[in-house]
Structure 1
């Protein structure tokens, strides 16, 4: 297991099973694992909790513009929807939660590493979202790190 602690008191633990555990102010947050099938038509995968039990189902639209991902709980209730905006100079995604809250993820023009800004939550995403290798920052402090590979 690897871990790090930032100045804001958020500890990020990466257990050996590849999940992610966040401790914010000493309180543990939920750990999740994403398991995807390598060959599949469309995007469909399950998100498991730290006990290995399925927690959410993600389904992406197939050959549809704009691309839409629907995230549902295991009872089939939609908890959020992510829609890629089709006509933009740089990629943008609108995220709508079940309670109606929404925010936008916009790619920022950079020359070295990919960077996204989360409008509505005042967060920054650094790294490669498509390769599942990125971190989330708020006020300049890393609050989460998501990676397919342990670091």
Structure 2
């Protein structure tokens, strides 16, 4: 389980991802004034282990996750989803993931083939403005954390767009 504060970041904010014992396991660097809404995920020594950035030209919000310099997934918002927002996490090969639930309140699940492989919830913690990211055994934590960051970037972008209209 990983612990993250409720509002990950505004563009440019940095923050740490903690394990359930409160130990820093990752640092997230929100690149200031990045046109591509890029964030870099670093290990405790400061080495880049993953990154998330927005595709500039796409029909729907699309974010690419790289892990170790290699493309690991694209996170795309589904176009028509009544009642709940849904995102597809398109990984190379046949094992795509689906992310759905109450995304604004950060209460949602990530599934692969109908099996839950990750979840985000505030219910598991008593700390205010903090929630947990649960990752199933055998699933790459950076893929799940990167997907959660991509979702947050997409939601922040939509909020900003709504404010500007």
Superposed CA RMSD in Å reads: 2.5
The residue correspondences of 1:97-116 to structure 2 (distance < 5 A) are 97-98=67-68, 100-109=70-79, 110-116=81-87
Aligned counterpart for 1:140 among listed residues 103, 114, 117: 114
Q: Determine whether 1:53 maps to 2:23.
A: yes
Equivalent of residue 14 in structure 2, options 44, 67, 84: 44
Q: Flag structure 1 segments of 5+ consecutive residues without an equivalent.
A: 1-30
Which residue of structure 2 aligns with residue 118 of structure 1? 89
Contact 1:36 1:44 in 2 (8 A): no
Q: Does the 8 Å CA contact 2:11/2:31 hold for their aligned counterparts?
A: no
Q: How many residues align?
A: 121
Is 1:127 matched with 2:98? no
Q: Which residue matches 1:62? A: 32
Structure 2 unaligned blocks of 5 or more: 126-165
Query: C-alpha distance in 2, partners of 1:37/1:75?
Result: 24
Q: Give the conservation status (yes or no) of the 8 Å contact 2:78–2:87.
A: yes
Larger C-alpha radius of gyration, 1 or 2?
1
Structure with bigger strand share is 1
Q: Is structure 2 residue 59 aligned with structure 1 residue 93? A: no
Residue pair 2:86, 2:98 contacting (<8 A) in 1 also: yes
TM-score of the two chains, using structure 1 as the length reference: 0.69
Give the direction of change, closer, same or farther, for the CA distance of 1:40–1:94 in structure 2 (3 Å limit): closer
Greater RCO, CA 8 A, separation 6+: 2
Q: Deviations over 1:69-91 (max 9, x none)?
A: 10000100111000111232211
Tell whether the 8 Å contact from 2:9 to 2:15 is kept in structure 1 after alignment: no
What is the distance in 1 between the residues matched to 2:56 and 2:69?
Answer: 24
Q: How much does 1:127 deviate? A: 2.7
| CA shift for structure 1 position 132 | 2.9
